[in-house]
Structure 1
């Protein structure tokens, strides 16, 4: 093993507090906080939206456009974000993306007019779009496959912690300092994290001055080798049923998850008669259950369920449980039973989430950033469109049970999609596959 300067790497390198654990520092000490602060940016806009609407006199339609403009930009630039990570490396891309979205988070209060807010939110979405594919690609480079589920769990935890503590934290900042400062605070923190990322992280473990030789060998002993594939043409993606199936199943998953992220507070207050205080506490419990599902499944994957045949079955079961408990909760007349069912439903979604990103890493190999961007593209398109459809269904018939039942159907479709996903068979360029067969 050699360092990038050509000198031999010895086990003396990287000795210190994080000797042998540098990969966990990157995952838990940087990627988790970065993802958490990004979710705080989104929470700040959601919580401040009524104040902004009132202060600037925006109509409901104008405010909806402002809120959703971020998500359309975020979704549509997932694949370009993954391509940038592959082309320029995760260190450079995530640092520049962090600086970009921190700047536009800071500028959010200065939109002044409708078009100003829309443009700022679009530019913010463009910057944040690179984060997820780049983060997943980083974990694919820095962790052996037998540890990637636990690493993915840390990344997912950063995202979902925002739903547990985001709203109360933003409300406190707004009450104490004003709604503008909620954006200023998270922008400054995001900028600091972007600079820390540039300072601490390297694209490859072998090029990091503080990575011990033992840790580098540990990582590379079980990491997919894809250096031989110089370029994977788009036709290799387009002709792969797996490539389409993994995007479609994630769209199905975020249809269910989108209900919790967008409509759960309204449902608990309007349909179930909970007070705002009751909703604030009870509405956070399903997200706690999701985090538990993410961490629990991540540990089981790495230590027990290491073969993809078993993992696909667990992911399929997670879809079925998420759909079933969503419907059972909607049909229940008891609030405690409802909350229990919602916790089990979203917890099952968390189980599936762990498998989604592990599948992207194994299916894509060296192109995991591209596969991740593609998957997140479909999921976030559904995050933008799904809640709108739910609102239309409830608005037309006033029937939450019907709307939640239709969402549950997407869980069944997700199961079907998983039958076409085989992460143990990575994507390969057609010419490489044929040449390999000729050699054999």
Structure 2
């Protein structure tokens, strides 16, 4: 009898496959941002080899985001219709392949086209992350899960920026793209081996799925895909809560895209650092953001477990992060390299804290269209990736200084804080009206 009871406990003990999924999301997101940031690392040398001026390299920086931002909604639609495993996995291999090809560029047009294709392929990545964490994690674990994968973007850049700088100095800028591209293709093979949605994963047992569902997770979301229509997008785009987080995400990403594009050039031209030193110095703010992202996620879940409302738990680290990150403007008032790096690191730490914004996609979106909602959210955020590189390029061309650019970024961050204080109110899930819940035909279920 005791043996039978022990066997029963063994059978019903839940698996922890969700942590395997989170580990793969962490690695994939790190690769994602290494590929995005590679151009910024090589830009000071590449611009000389290819004879590109500040405006031209600003346009090249923005090429990724022209595609990435405007493919977010189609990318989110594909995630909801065909599933994250296929859409995200194919995108991972394609963007890595075209990162590799950037080692062959011989001018602005070719560079723009290749970066544009990388942007298309990466479009489903963060909506895919949001969809998978909402499906694999109960609500009380989701803040930490989102903070972990979201922090991977900073971890990857912090760890590998010195490596990319070393490759640049010893083997040339082409090798940076070759190494980054190959690394992504290898990770893509692991993705298809280990990633699945909960009910389809061979390693996840029913006890884990029940645990996810009981805690407010959406493990069964992929079971009944619905027809995605423009009416779904209209519902999201006319909701005050969603409008608030969309505008704020644009504001938050102004800082991110300054660091991903112009920051190494800022250190070389404004602070007269060598490229090898830039490789190490540029990694420090990313290390700060990595820690800040973890702090924001853990603080949010801690407040939730202490009985605070979901609204308080989610908005507190976000608002603190927005306000603190605006201190980036203080870098204009010192010439000390050490103090500048401290200011930048604290500002980017705060940006990492505010990155808990992604939890709201899983918390607030209609459960049937999380991919689409994440796509719209990320579209808003990454329009900043189009605007910021070009605006900074023009400011630099006109003033030969980054001072006005830092004031621009700090001011926009304050606008983001105001959105969360005055526009975004109670955090709760939006429900689809019955007329927008029409399910897909069985054939499309098989495809998903």
Aligned equivalents of 1:279 and 1:95: distance in 2? 33
The TM-score, its normalising length taken from structure 1, stands at: 0.84
Q: CA deviation at 1:133?
A: 0.9
Match in the other structure for 2:129: 135
Q: Does 1:264 align with 2:263?
A: yes
Structure 1 alignment gaps of length 5 or more? 1-9, 434-440
Residues 278-317 of structure 1, C-alpha deviation per residue, up to 9 Å, x if partnerless?
5443433222111111112212222334533323233222
Q: Does 1:218 align with 2:211?
A: yes
Contact 1:363 1:424 in 2 (8 A): yes
Match in the other structure for 2:32: 38
Given the superposition, is the C-alpha separation of residues 258 and 47 from structure 1 closer, same or farther in structure 2, using an over 3 Å criterion?
closer
Q: CA deviation at 1:63?
A: 4.5
Aligned equivalents of 2:51 and 2:269: distance in 1? 25
Q: Does 1:358 align with 2:359?
A: yes
Q: CA deviation at 1:274?
A: 4.8
Following superposition of structure 1 onto structure 2, how do residues 333-372 of structure 1 map, counting pairs within 5 Å? Answer: 334-354=336-356, 356-366=357-367, 367-372=369-374
Given the superposition, is the C-alpha separation of residues 236 and 389 from structure 1 closer, same or farther in structure 2, using an over 3 Å criterion?
same
Q: CA deviation at 1:108?
A: 2.6
Given the superposition, is the C-alpha separation of residues 45 and 142 from structure 1 closer, same or farther in structure 2, using an over 3 Å criterion?
same
Aligned equivalents of 2:163 and 2:148: distance in 1? 21
Aligned equivalents of 2:19 and 2:355: distance in 1? 20
Given the superposition, is the C-alpha separation of residues 255 and 87 from structure 1 closer, same or farther in structure 2, using an over 3 Å criterion?
same
Following superposition of structure 1 onto structure 2, how do residues 22-421 of structure 1 map, counting pairs within 5 Å? Answer: 22-28=17-23, 30-49=24-43, 52-55=46-49, 62-112=56-106, 114-175=108-169, 177-203=171-197, 205-224=198-217, 230=226, 233-272=232-271, 274=273, 276=275, 278-305=277-304, 307-310=309-312, 311-323=314-326, 325-332=327-334, 334-354=336-356, 356-366=357-367, 367-397=369-399, 400-418=402-420, 419-421=422-424
Aligned equivalents of 2:343 and 2:335: distance in 1? 12
Contact 2:250 2:384 in 1 (8 A): yes
Aligned equivalents of 1:278 and 1:372: distance in 2? 37
The TM-score, its normalising length taken from structure 2, stands at: 0.83
Match in the other structure for 2:431: 428
Aligned equivalents of 2:272 and 2:98: distance in 1? 38
Contact 2:41 2:165 in 1 (8 A): yes
Aligned equivalents of 1:170 and 1:44: distance in 2? 7
Given the superposition, is the C-alpha separation of residues 12 and 108 from structure 1 closer, same or farther in structure 2, using an over 3 Å criterion?
farther
Contact 2:233 2:372 in 1 (8 A): no
Q: CA deviation at 1:86?
A: 0.7
Q: CA deviation at 1:183?
A: 2.8
Q: CA deviation at 1:65?
A: 3.6
Residues 235-290 of structure 1, C-alpha deviation per residue, up to 9 Å, x if partnerless?
21132112221110011111233333333334444444555555443433222111
Given the superposition, is the C-alpha separation of residues 423 and 155 from structure 1 closer, same or farther in structure 2, using an over 3 Å criterion?
farther
When structure 1 is superposed on structure 2, of 127-136 and 392-401 the one drifting more is 392-401
Q: CA deviation at 1:49?
A: 4.0
Any idea what SS the aligned residue of 2:196 has? coil
Q: CA deviation at 1:87?
A: 0.7
Aligned equivalents of 1:11 and 1:119: distance in 2? 57
Aligned equivalents of 1:278 and 1:177: distance in 2? 17
Structure 2 alignment gaps of length 5 or more? 1-7, 437-448
Q: CA deviation at 1:211?
A: 1.0
Given the superposition, is the C-alpha separation of residues 89 and 255 from structure 1 closer, same or farther in structure 2, using an over 3 Å criterion?
same
When structure 1 is superposed on structure 2, of 138-147 and 422-431 the one drifting more is 422-431
When structure 1 is superposed on structure 2, of 263-272 and 147-156 the one drifting more is 263-272
When structure 1 is superposed on structure 2, of 344-353 and 106-115 the one drifting more is 106-115
